[in-house]
């Protein structure tokens, strides 16, 4: 088995932070889907004794904590969920509530920082959900859950306070050209 291919599969699964469809993983690895089982078998063997395991269904695959480390991870996770979501979590929630379904790159652009761990936290708490992006199969859309809307006392996003104004500001921010840094500005002679 090609160790480089196995390492790449592990890296893609790790960076995803959740399940990947077998089709998407094969695309990322630039192989045909029927070539994937030996790669996944080699990765599963490689993970033995590392605290991680590979979980696979007929259509998806994911990296998870193995059965020996899972209780410790679950305990730490429960402690973490007991904490408040913080400013970063509130900002991401505001984006998906007011902007609507958003990709992680769109959320990162608006916030100006990587939001991977914040989104994972919000997913784990059931405040946002992840769905496939019909416009681009390589990424997901994050949207508020029905439970979050119910908790906020709204039936749909347009009932949020100042929805139209905030949405207009978000759209204006996203449509303006990226600002040049001082080193990129050209001097006029």
61 and 118 fall within a common domain: no
**Whether residue 100 sits in one domain with residue 58:** no
Secondary structure E strands in the chain: 20-21, 52-56, 60-65, 128-132, 140-144
Identify whether 71 is part of a domain.
no
How many CB atoms are closer than 10 A to CB 144?
A: 22
- Candidates 77, 38, 75; CA nearest to 56 is 38
Residues 164, 93 share a domain: yes
How many domains, the chain? 2
58 and 90 inside one domain: no
Residue 77 belongs to some domain of the structure? no
* 55 and 91 housed in the same domain: no
Do 51 and 21 have their domain in common?
Answer: yes
From CA 17, how far away is CA 23, in angstroms rounded? 17
Range of the domain at 52: 3-65
92 and 171 share one domain: yes
Please work out, in degrees rounded to the nearest 5, the angle formed at the alpha carbon of residue 145 by the alpha carbons of 143 and 146: 135
Show which of 65, 100, 116 is a domain's final residue. Answer: 65
Query: pLDDT (tens digit, 9 = 90+) per residue, 31-71?
Result: 999 999 999 999 999 999 999 989 898 888 988 888 888 88
Do 98 and 165 share a domain, yes or no?
yes
Measured CA to CA in angstroms, residue 111 lies from 23, 82, 114, 163, 170 at distances of: 31, 24, 8, 18, 11
Whether residues 90 and 61 fall in one domain: no
Say if residue 26 is in the same domain as residue 93.
no
49 assigned to some structural domain: yes
Is the residue at 160 inside a domain?
yes
* 75 belongs to a structural domain: no
Q: Identify the pLDDT of residue 88.
A: 92
State the CB neighbour count (10 A cutoff) for residue 36.
19
Instruction: Give domain status of residue 30, yes or no.
Output: yes
Is residue 78 a part of any domain in this protein?
no
The answer on 99 and 164 residing in a single domain is yes
Indicate whether 114 belongs to any domain: yes
Q: Percentage of residues in the chain with pLDDT exceeding 90?
A: 49
Residues 159 and 104 in one domain: yes
pLDDT digits (tens, 9 = 90+) for 98-151: 999 999 999 999 999 999 989 998 998 889 999 888 888 788 999 998 888 877
- Residue 91: pLDDT band with limits 50, 70, 90: very high
Which domain CATH number covers 123?
1.10.10.10
Kindly provide the b/e burial profile for residues 12-34, where b requires at least 16 CB atoms within 10 angstroms of the residue's own CB.
bbeebbebbebebbbbbbebeee
């Amino acid at each position: 088995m090609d160790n480089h291919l196995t390492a790449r599969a592990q890296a893609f699964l790790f960076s995803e932070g959740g399940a990947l469809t077998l089709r998407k993983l094969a695309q990322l690895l630039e192989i045909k889907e029927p070539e994937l089982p030996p790669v996944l078998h080699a990765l599963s063997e490689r993970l033995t004794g590392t605290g991680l395991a590979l979980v696979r269904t007929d259509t998806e695959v994911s990296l998870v904590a193995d059965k020996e480390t899972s209780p410790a991870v679950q305990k730490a996770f429960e402690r973490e969920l007991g904490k408040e979501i913080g400013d970063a979590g509130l900002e991401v929630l505001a984006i998906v509530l007011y902007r609507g379904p958003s990709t992680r790159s769109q959320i990162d652009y608006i916030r100006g920082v990587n939001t991977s761990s914040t989104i994972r936290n919000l997913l784990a708490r059931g405040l946002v959900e992840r769905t496939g992006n019909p416009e681009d199969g390589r990424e997901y859309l994050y949207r508020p859950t029905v439970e979050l809307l119910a908790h906020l006392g709204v039936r749909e996003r347009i009932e949020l306070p100042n929805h139209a104004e905030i949405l207009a500001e978000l759209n204006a921010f996203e449509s303006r050209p990226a600002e040049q840094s001082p080193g990129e500005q050209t001097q006029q002679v």
